[in-house]
Amino acid sequence: MDWQKEDLKYVWHPCSQMKDYETLPPIVIERGKGINLYDINGKCYKDVISSWWCNLLGHSNERINNAIKKQLDALEHVIFANFTHKPAINLCQKLMEVIPKGLCKFNFADNGSSAIEMSLKMSFQYHYQTGNPQKKRFMALADAYHGETLGALAVGGVDLYSELYKPLLLDVIRIEGLDCFRCPWGKCRDNCKCECFCRAEEAFKKYGDETAAIIVEPLLQGSAGMKIYPPLYLKKLRELCNKYNVHLIADEIATGYGRTGKMFAFDHAEVSPDIMCLSKGLTGGYMPMAIAITTQKIYDAFYDDYLKGKAFMHSHTYSGNPLACSAAIEVLNILKDENIIEKANEKALYFNKIIKEKFLQLDFVGEVRSIGLINAIELVKDKNTKEALDYKKRTGYQIYKKALQNGVLLRPLGDVIYFNPPLVIEKSDMDFVTDVALKCTKEILNI
Ligand SMILES: *Cc1c(COP(=O)(O)O)cnc(C)c1O
Stretch(es) of the chain classified as CATH 3.40.640.10? 66-337
Quick one: which atom of ligand 1 is closest to the CA of 116?
10
408 CA → ligand 1 middle, Å: 23
pLDDT at 26: 98
The span from the CA of 286 to the CA of 236, in Å, is 35
Torsion sign, CA atoms 112, 116, 117, 119: positive
**How many A from CA of 152 to the centre of ligand 1?**
9
pLDDT at site 184: 96
Q: Is residue 220 within 8 Å of residue 179, measured between CB atoms?
A: no
**Does 254 contact ligand 1 (Cβ within 6 A)?**
yes
Q: How many CB atoms lie within 10 A of CB 279?
A: 28
For residue 158, give the nearest of 227, 111, 210, 105 by alpha carbon: 227
Q: Where in the chain is the domain with CATH 3.90.1150.10?
A: 3-60+340-445
Chosen CATH of 3-60+340-445 out of 3.90.1150.10, 3.40.50.720, 2.30.30.110, 3.40.50.20: 3.90.1150.10
- H/E run at residue 357: helix 340-359
Per CATH, domain 66-337 is 3.10.580.10: no
Specify whether the CB–CB gap between 265 and 258 falls below 8 A.
Answer: no
Contacts of 394 (CB under 8 A, 6+ apart): none
pLDDT at 115: 98
Q: Is the CB of 111 under 6 A from ligand 1?
A: yes
- Gyration radius of the chain's alpha carbons: 22
- What's the predicted TM-score (pTM) here? 0.98
3-state secondary structure of 268: helix
pLDDT for position 217: 98
The answer, yes or no, to whether any atom of ligand 1 lies below 6 A from the CB of 110, is: no
Q: Which residues in the chain show pLDDT less than 50?
A: none
Q: Are 205 and 395 in contact (CB under 8 A)?
A: no
